[in-house]
Amino acid sequence: MAVMTEPRHGRFGDFGGRYVPESLIPACAAVEEAFRSAWSDPLFRAHLDGLLVSYAGRPTPLTPALNLSTQLGITLLLKREDLAHTGSHKINNVLGQALLAGRMGKTRLIAETGAGQHGVAVATAAALLGLRATVYMGSRDIERQQLNVFRMELLGAEVIPVTSGSRTLKDATNEAMRAWVADTDDAHFLLGSVGGPHPYPWMVRELQSVIGDEARQQCDSVPDVVVACVGGGSNAAGTFAGFVDTTARLIGVEAAGGAAITNGAPGVVHGSRSLVLQDAEGQIAEAESIAAGLDYPGVGPEHAYLSSLGRAEYRTVGDAEVVEAIGRLARAEGIICALESAHAVAWVLRAAGTPDLPAGSRVVLTLSGRGDKDMATLRGGVA
């Protein structure tokens, strides 16, 4: 199978698939058909591209990190998703799926959110396009991310607290899928990353590939290394898609406490087979990361596949290195990035000058989001 093309029957090697209740199979098939038709329709593509430019602020710049490059003895180029509207790459996927929902005649968006970044992007697109939005969020995350709850409500979305299980993203995703079962006629389930049942991993990667396509065009020559953080894996998948057919090494950086590729085992979660953190009984384990966006026990199936092929490599970094990396980037370049994005920065800081990232390397790093949402966490000295 060609790498990072459309997966056949929704399978990426041994991973992917559509493991959902019988009642959701037709709904997933309808999304698949609608997306395939939309994605090959020049009018849909022009409409989406127009919004990405005039509303979301694309293309985002590729900024040379000149000071850090000098300090590290490499050439570091930052793909600035932190400058996209709503503060992260999430808007790329959300605008695409919200337009698709309208094209399918849906009037309501249902979404899950962890830290609230995806929920805010969904509430934003719903406001723009005249759709209703219902966002499921774990009650523990609601306590931790009150500002994003306020944002979503200000934008007109309904935020529904989820009190089951660990009261975080995993549980919110379960509830969002349940809500979709109850309202497949009117609602589109707008999943925020490259997980879930087919066609979501493929569709979300395609919608995020604008990151990699732009970065490739913005580089004078093919970089040696392309690096991005991996939670569910959407900003990394979108970035990798622009370079997978080149000689560039692809590096995904996981949170040490949520490293599904590095420490997980094959299993099914939220509708697809991938690598999942599990306990000895095969129960899904809790993730634990300072970055709420990486605090998830699973990972998109295409990353499991790219890892199995050896085409992409995955590394982990811990919370303390991440906090250190945010400060180092801020002081060297005047850019305060999100805790999630700082995982990729932390790996570069650690690896530069070692055999993993030799001196002189040209590196493209996707800065998936801005750090505003994380100031309370950092001020609290949480590390």
Ligand X SMILES: *Cc1c(COP(=O)(O)O)cnc(C)c1O
Active site residue 368: yes
- For ligand X, the binding residues (CB under 6 A) are 88, 90, 117-118, 193, 229-235, 293-294, 338, 340-341, 368-369
Burial of 63 (0-12, 13-18, 19+ CB in 10 A): middle
DSSP string of 168-195, one letter each residue: SHHHHHHHHHHHHHHTTTTEEE---SS-
CA 348 to chain CA centroid, nearest Å: 20
From the list 32, 69, 90, 324, the catalytic residue is 90
Catalytic residue, chosen from 79, 175, 368, 373, is: 368
Residue 250 backbone phi and psi in degrees, to 5: -110, 125
DSSP secondary structure letter of residue 24: G
Told to judge if 170 belongs to the known catalytic residues of this protein, a careful annotator would answer: no
373 an active-site residue?
Answer: no
DSSP string over 74-134? SEEEEEEGGGSGGGBTHHHHHHHHHHHHHHTT--EEEEEESSSHHHHHHHHHHHHHT-EEE
Residue 258 Cβ, how far from ligand X at the closest point, in Å?
Answer: 10
Tokens standing for residue 315: 């590394």
User: Given the complex with ligand X, which of 272 and 368 has the nearer CB atom?
Assistant: 368
At 36 the three-state DSSP class reads: helix
Nearest residue to ligand X by CB is: 369
H helical segments located in 273-351: 301-309, 319-333, 341-351
- Of 153, 121, 96, which is closest to residue 293 (Cα–Cα)? 121
The residues, ordered by sequence, that sit 6+ positions from 261 with a Cβ below 8 Å of its Cβ are 230, 252, 254, 275, 299, 303, 304, 307, 314
Q: 184 or 206, CB closer to ligand X?
A: 206
Q: With respect to ligand X, which residue has the nearer C-beta, 256 or 294?
A: 294
Q: Spell out the residues 6+ positions from residue 266 whose beta carbon is closer than 8 angstroms to its own.
A: 14, 15, 273, 274, 275, 276, 304
State the nearest-atom distance from the C-beta of 26 to ligand X, in Å.
Answer: 27
Catalytic residue among 32, 69, 81, 112: 112
CA 47 to chain centre: 23
Phi, psi (5° rounding) for residue 287?
Answer: -90, 160
Do 81 and 368 touch, CB atoms closer than 8 A? yes
Q: Are the C-beta atoms of residues 308 and 301 closer than 8 Å to each other?
A: no
Nearer to ligand X, 177 or 299 (CB): 299
Measured from the CB atom, the residue of 184 and 344 that comes closer to ligand X is 344
What are the catalytic residues? 90, 112, 368
